[in-house]
Amino acid sequence: MPSPTASSFQGQKIVIIGAGLAGTLCAIMLVQRGARVELIERQDFETGADYGNRRSFNLTISSRGAAVLEAAGLWPRIKARTIPITGRMCHDGRGIQKFPYGRDESFALHGCRRTDVNAELVAAAREYESLTLRSGYTLDGIDKRNGAVTISPVAGGASETITDADFTIGADGVYSTMRRLIHRGERADFNQHFLDWNYREVFIPAGSDPDHPWVMDPNALHIWPRGDLMMFALPNPDGSFTGNFIYPSDRETDFQVPGLMGDLFRREFADVAGLLASPEETLKATPPSYFPTQRNTKWYHGDRFVLLGDAAHATVPFYGQGMNSAFESTAELIRCLEAVEPAARAKAFATYQAKRKPNTDTIADLSMTNFEELRSNFKHVMPKARRRAEVVLSRLFPKHFVPLHVQISHSLTDYRQAVDDCARRDRMLRWCGLDLLILGFAAIDLVSRGFARLSTAPAADFSDLSSAMGETAETSFGLAPGDSMERRA
C-alpha cells in the first residue's frame, strides 16, 4: 500500500459510520493523509453475520470511479477483481446481438460483484495501523452539541460513546441512520421516491466446462428487454452470472401464487430459464428490492457531522453511477477539507455540498430519465433515431461531438457541466439541421420495420446500423439516455 503522502489530516481522529464502498475508500484516503480513523460497520466481517440483509448485486466501475481509486493507489488491486465489459448483449426474443461500447478496449467498463470490491477495500483498509475497523457495531446516536457518537454491538451488549473524534462521516448507505440523526430537529428537506418497479436477484450458475465456465459471453452486460419486465446480468469471475429481474411492484403478490412467476419467467426469458434448475426457487431465493431516489438539503451539521455516498445522494442504478458518484464525492469532500484549516471545517462541508449536490441531483435525474426512456423507447422510434444521429455525428466529428452518455461514463467532466455542455451544443446543432437528421433516421427505422413485418425471414433491420458502423461508446451499467431497453448497457 502506498504510505501516507500528505499530512493534511495529521493529528485528527475521524469516525466513519459504514464500511461500505464510499466509507472504506474514504477511510483509506484519510489515513493516507495522516488521520487516525475509526471505521464502524454494522455487518460483522469476522463472523460473516449480515445484519443489513445485504444483497450481492453486481455493478460496473467507469472512468470516474477508477480515477479516484487510482489516486488512492487502489485501482490495480480492484481492477484485478473485475471483468472487462466491452459491450451489451441484447437478448430481444428474436436473437442475440452484441453492441460494442466503443471502437476499442479503452471504452470497456469494469464489471464486478459489489461484495468483491467491498472486500478488497476492507482488506486494503486493514493494512493501515492508524485505521481501526470495528465491524458488528451499529450507530445508535449522536450528540450534536459535543460531536460524540454512540455505537453498540449488533449482537447485543453495552453501547459505548466515542467522544474524541474531530468529526464523523456518515457513509451508512441509502437508509442512513446518520442522515436521520443529522436531520432530527433541523430545517432539512428530505425526499424519497420509489420506482413502481421492484427487482429480485437471479443467480445463473457456471457451466460445467472448467476451461470456459461462462454460459454466455463473459465480456458483456446481458439485457433482456420485455416492456414492463426486464432483466440484466453481469458475469462473475467464477463463470456464474448475477442478474436482476425487474418487474412492476404491483406484481409482488404474484410471487405468492404457485407457479405464476416461474411460468412467466420461463415464457419471457426462455434462454435464462433453461440455465436454471428451477426459476421459481431462484426468484424466491432473494427478497424483493426497491429502487429509491433520495435527495436532501442538509448534508452536514456544523463542523462535526457530514454525509457521504448513498447516505447523501442515493439514485436508481440505471446509469451505473451510484458508486462512481460516491467515489467522486469522497474525493471532493477530502479536497474541500484540505483547502481549509480545521477551524473552518463547517465551511468545507458547505462547499462540499454546494459542489456535489448539483452533480448528484443531475445524475439522479439522468438515471430516472434513462429508466423512463428505456421503457418507452422500446416502443418509440424517435429516441432511437436520435441515438443513431448521435452515432453518426460522433463518428464524423469525434473531437467536437461527444455524446452525453460517453461524457458521463468515460470522462471526468462534472455531471452538471456535461449536461449543460450537451444542451448548448444540441441547441447549436438544431440550427444546423440535427432535427432533420433525426427525422431521417426515424423514417429509415419505420420503413425497415415495415419491411421486417412483411418478411418471414428474420431481417437484418436498421436497428443494427449503429453496430455496423462500429458504434461509438455507450454508457456503463446504466442505460444511456436515448438508449432503448434493447440498448441497455
User: Which positions lie near ligand FAD, rule CB under 6 A?
Assistant: 17-23, 40-43, 52, 57, 59-60, 114, 138-139, 171-173, 177, 244, 309-311, 317, 320-324, 326, 477
Of 170, 149, 476, nearest to 296 by C-alpha is 170
Least distance to ligand FAD, CB of residue 316, Å:
8
Which C-beta is closer to ligand FAD: that of 321 or that of 484? 321
Nearer to ligand FAD, 204 or 429 (CB): 204
Between residues 138 and 472, which has the closer beta carbon with respect to ligand FAD?
A: 138
Which residues is 295 bridged to in the sheet?
191
Residues 6+ apart with CB under 8 A from 281: none
Pick 21 or 223: Cβ nearer ligand FAD: 21
Name the residue nearer to ligand FAD (CB basis): 224 or 441: 224
Residue pair 53/290 in contact by the 8 Å Cβ criterion: no
Measured CA to CA in angstroms, residue 379 lies from 225, 232, 348, 446 at distances of 11, 19, 47, 12
Nearer to ligand FAD, 43 or 63 (CB): 43
Least Cβ distance, residue 117 to ligand FAD (angstroms)? 9
Report the nearest approach of ligand FAD to the CB of residue 75 (Å).
15
Which residue, 386 or 487, is less far from ligand FAD as judged by CB? 487
Task: State the nearest-atom distance from the C-beta of 199 to ligand FAD, in Å.
Answer: 7
CA distance linking residue 436 with residue 449, whole number of Å: 20
SS3 sequence of 317-349: CCCCCHHHHHHHHHHHHHHHHHCCCHHHHHHHH
Shortest CB 140 distance to ligand FAD, Å: 8
Using the minimum distance from each CB to ligand FAD, give the nearer residue, 137 or 265: 137
Q: How many CB atoms lie within 10 A of CB 116?
A: 17
Which CB, 310 or 445, lies closer to ligand FAD? 310
Q: Which CB sits closer to ligand FAD, 279 or 320?
A: 320
Measured between alpha carbons, how far is 367 from 362 in angstroms, rounded to an integer? 9
Which residue, 321 or 377, is less far from ligand FAD as judged by CB?
321
- Residues in the chain, total: 489
Using CA of residue 297, residue 302, residue 308, residue 311, what is the dihedral sign? negative
Q: Residue 10 in 3-state DSSP?
A: coil
Closest distance between ligand FAD and the C-beta of residue 50, in Å?
Answer: 8
User: Torsions phi, psi of 276, nearest 5?
Assistant: -110, 140
Q: What gap in Å lies between CA 185 and CA 187, rounded to an integer?
A: 7
Please report how close the Cβ of residue 95 comes to ligand FAD at its closest, in angstroms: 26
Residue-wise burial string across 269-281, b where 16 or more C-beta atoms lie within 10 A, e elsewhere: beebbebbeebbe
Strands (E), 71-159: 83-85, 87-91, 96-100, 109-113, 131-135, 137-143, 148-153
Tell the smallest beta-carbon distance from residue 339 to ligand FAD (Å). 23
Between β-strands 305-307 and 167-170, what pairing exists: parallel, antiparallel or unpaired?
parallel
Query: How far is it, in rounded angstroms, from Cα 159 to Cα 154?
Result: 10
Q: Which residue is nearest to ligand FAD (CB)?
A: 20
Q: State the minimum distance, in angstroms, from the CB of residue 186 to ligand FAD.
A: 19
- Distance in Å, CB of 101 to ligand FAD, minimum: 14
Residue 439 CB, shortest distance to ligand FAD, in Å, is: 34
Between CA 137 and CA 134 the distance in angstroms is 7
Instruction: Supply the minimum distance, in Å, between the C-beta of residue 438 and ligand FAD.
Output: 29
Q: Report the distance separating Cα 40 and Cα 278, nearest Å.
A: 39
Question: What is 15-70 written as a DSSP string?
Answer: EEE--SHHHHHHHHHHHTTT-EEEEEESS-TTT---TT-----EEEE-HHHHHHHH
Among residues 49 and 459, whose Cβ is nearest to ligand FAD?
49
C-alpha cell at 99: 453492441
| Total Cβ atoms within 10 A of residue 430 | 12
For residue 241, give the C-alpha cell.
Answer: 452470472
